[in-house]
């Protein structure tokens, strides 16, 4: 915002200089110079603020990484997975029923159509969160990983 204000003031100062030929050139030059200096100071201030904020963020991240590496073992990893509302609904129902249930029963509980449930389960399989096993004429859906909210 400050940069926009400073560039606009510089633009209007230059426009005044071009249009105001009746005014003494020393006055126009002085006004333009002042506007240019104010703009330069504002741009430098914005740059300093951005650099300070970035340094603060980096130091915060470094302390988080240092504290998390001390408290958690090296072999534990966190995997970030984005779930749609439908995927979250299926995962919730599986968690409520012990992590395993038939696909037909899951469809009835969630209220999803067969095609929507099939597409959702395929997406969850690609994310390695569930697996489907064929048992006779039905499929059993098994939750492979617990998903934290």
Q: What would the pLDDT profile of 97-121 be if each residue is shown by its tens digit?
A: 998 999 999 999 999 999 999 999 9
Structure confidence at residue 90 (pLDDT): 92
54 and 89 inside one domain: no
* Summary mean pLDDT of the chain: 82
Q: What gap in Å lies between CA 77 and CA 32, rounded to an integer? A: 59
| Structure tokens that stand for 54 in this block | 């970035």
Output the domain CATH number for residue 99: 1.10.10.10
Stretch 23-42: mean pLDDT: 77
Range of the domain at 96: 85-143
Rounded to 5 degrees, φ, ψ at 90 are: -65, -45
Q: What is the number of domains present in the chain?
A: 2
Q: What gap in Å lies between CA 86 and CA 142, rounded to an integer? A: 17
Give percent above pLDDT 90 in the chain: 30
Q: What's the pTM?
A: 0.48
Q: Does 23 fall in a domain?
A: yes
Q: Does 97 fall in a domain?
A: yes
Q: Does 79 fall in a domain?
A: no
């Amino acid at each position: 915002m400050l940069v926009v204000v400073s560039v606009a003031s510089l633009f209007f100062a230059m426009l005044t200089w071009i249009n105001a030929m009746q005014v003494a050139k020393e006055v126009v030059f002085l006004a333009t110079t002042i506007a240019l200096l104010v703009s330069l100071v504002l741009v430098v201030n914005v740059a300093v603020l951005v650099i300070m904020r970035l340094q603060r963020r980096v130091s915060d991240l470094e302390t988080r990484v240092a504290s998390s590496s001390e408290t958690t073992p090296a072999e534990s990893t966190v995997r970030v997975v984005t779930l749609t509302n439908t995927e979250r609904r299926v995962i919730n129902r599986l968690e409520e029923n012990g992590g395993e249930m038939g696909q037909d029963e899951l469809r009835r509980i969630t209220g999803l159509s067969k095609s929507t449930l099939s597409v959702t389960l395929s997406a969850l399989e690609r994310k390695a969160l569930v697996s489907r096993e064929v048992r006779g004429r039905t499929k059993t859906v098994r939750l492979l990983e617990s998903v934290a909210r």
